[in-house]
Amino acid sequence: MESAGCSAAAVRTRDMESQRDLSLVPERLQRREQERQLEVERRKQKRQNQEVEEEKRDFFTAAFARERAAVEELLEGTESVERLEEVASRLQGLQKLLNDSVLFLTAYDLRQRQEALVRLQAALAERRQELQPKKRFAFKTRRKDAASCTRVGAAPGIPPAAESIQDSPLPQKAEGDFGSSWVCGFSNLESQVLEKRASELHQRDVLLTELSNCTVKLYGNPNTLRLTKAHGCKLLCGPVSTSVFLEDCSDCVLAVACQQLRIHSTKDTRIFLQVTSRAIVEDCSGIQFAPYTWSYPEIDKDFERSGLDRSKNSWNDVDDFNWLARDMASPNWSVLPEEERSIQWD
C-alpha cells in the first residue's frame, strides 16, 4: 500500500510539472518574439543611421566641391590684395565645413580634402606674394641695419644671412607645402634664442628649418608655419590663421594654435595645442598632446585677428594615418599626463 501511494504521488508530481512546462510554452514563444522584434528594430535603426550618414556625407562632399571651385575661381580672377581677404574668408569657411564633416568621412576622404585645402592655402599665399608691391632697386651703403628678425643671445661670428630668412625662396616639398616662397623664418642655427614680433609676422608664412637646441618665440599672427629638421627645440607660437606642418623633428616641445596641424616623420615630441580640426600624424612615434597654455600680453588681439575660435579646441582628437583600427588606440601618440604639463615657458 505504501509503495502504491508513493507511485501515485510521483505520477501526480510529473503531471503537475508537465502542466507547468506547457504553461511556460506561450511565455517562451512570447519572449522569442520580443527578441526577434528587438533585433528587427536594431537592424532597422542601424540601416537608417547608415542612410543618414550617407546623406550627410553626400551633402558635405557636394558643398565642399562647390566651395572649393568658388575659391579656385576667385584666386584665378583676383587682381588686388583686398580681394584676397575675401578668398581667405572663404577658405576659413571651407575649413569649418571640413571640420563639421569629419565624423562622416573615411580616413582616405578626409586626407584628400585636407590636402586640397592645404593646396588652396598655398595658392593664396603665392597670390599674396605676387600681388605685393615690387621693391625698387637701389644701391645701399654697407652698414649693419637693424635686423627685422630679433635675435637674442646670438653667438658671435655668425653672419645674419645664415640666421634669418627674409624674402628669399627656399627649396620646397610637395607635401605640406604652404606657399611658393617662405618670407620669414630662421634656419641653420644651434643653441640660440630666437624671436619675431607681431609686426614682423602678421599674416606671413613662416619657415623654421635645420635648428638644433634652439628656443623660438613667435609673437603675433602668422598665416602658416612650417617646422622641419628640428632637434631638441622649444617653439612657442601665437595663433596661426591656417596650417602648421611639422616634418623630420625629434625631442621638441611646441605650443601652437592653428586651424589645422599635420605632423610627419616626427618622434618624441610634446605639443601643447589649440586646433579647430582634427590633428593628423603620419609616420610618427612618441607624440604627446596637451592643451595650449602659452600666453603673452597681446595674445587675445592676435586670436581675434587670426579668426580662430578659442572656444573650440580639438587638441586630443587625432587621426593617425598609420593606424586605422577604430577599436584600439594608436600606439604612436598619447595624451600628456596632467602632472607633466607644468612648463615654464619663459
Domain at 282, CATH number: 2.160.20.70
Same domain flag for 191 and 286: yes
- In tens digits, what is the pLDDT along the chain, a chain of 346 residues? 555 555 655 656 665 655 555 555 677 777 787 788 888 888 877 777 677 677 777 777 788 888 888 888 887 777 776 777 777 778 777 777 777 776 667 777 777 777 888 788 777 777 777 776 655 544 444 433 333 444 444 443 333 433 444 433 343 433 334 443 446 889 999 999 999 999 888 888 899 999 999 999 999 999 899 999 999 999 999 999 989 999 999 999 999 999 999 999 999 999 999 998 889 999 999 999 999 999 999 999 999 988 888 888 999 999 888 887 777 889 999 999 999 998 887 7
- Report how far residue 286's alpha carbon sits from residue 271's, in angstroms, rounded to the nearest whole number: 11
Same domain flag for 34 and 103: yes
Q: Which domain holds residue 89?
A: 20-131
Domain at 44, CATH number: 1.20.58.1250
Domain assignment present for 218? yes
Same domain flag for 229 and 335: yes
Q: Looking at the 3D structure of the chain, how many domains does it have?
A: 2
Same domain flag for 232 and 87: no
- Please give the pLDDT value at position 7: 60
Same domain flag for 329 and 189: yes
Domain assignment present for 42? yes
Same domain flag for 213 and 309: yes
Q: Is 191 left (phi over 0), alpha (psi -120 to 50) or beta?
A: left
Domain assignment present for 138? no
Same domain flag for 233 and 334: yes
Domain assignment present for 268? yes
Domain assignment present for 37? yes
- Please give the pLDDT value at position 153: 42
Check if the beta carbon of residue 211 is closer than 8 Å to that of residue 189.
Answer: yes
- Please give the pLDDT value at position 169: 38
Q: What is the CA radius of gyration of the chain?
A: 31
Same domain flag for 308 and 202: yes
- Please give the pLDDT value at position 222: 92
Domain assignment present for 136? no
For residue 339, give the DSSP letter. G
- Please give the pLDDT value at position 296: 93
- Please give the pLDDT value at position 91: 79
Check if the beta carbon of residue 172 is closer than 8 Å to that of residue 180.
Answer: yes
Q: Judging by beta carbons within 10 Å of its beta carbon (0-12, 13-18, 19+), is residue 122 exposed, middle or buried?
A: buried
Same domain flag for 190 and 331: yes
Q: Which three cell numbers stand for residue 299?
A: 595674445
Q: Give one DSSP letter per residue of 221-242, joined into a string.
A: --SEEEEEEEES-EEEEEE-SS
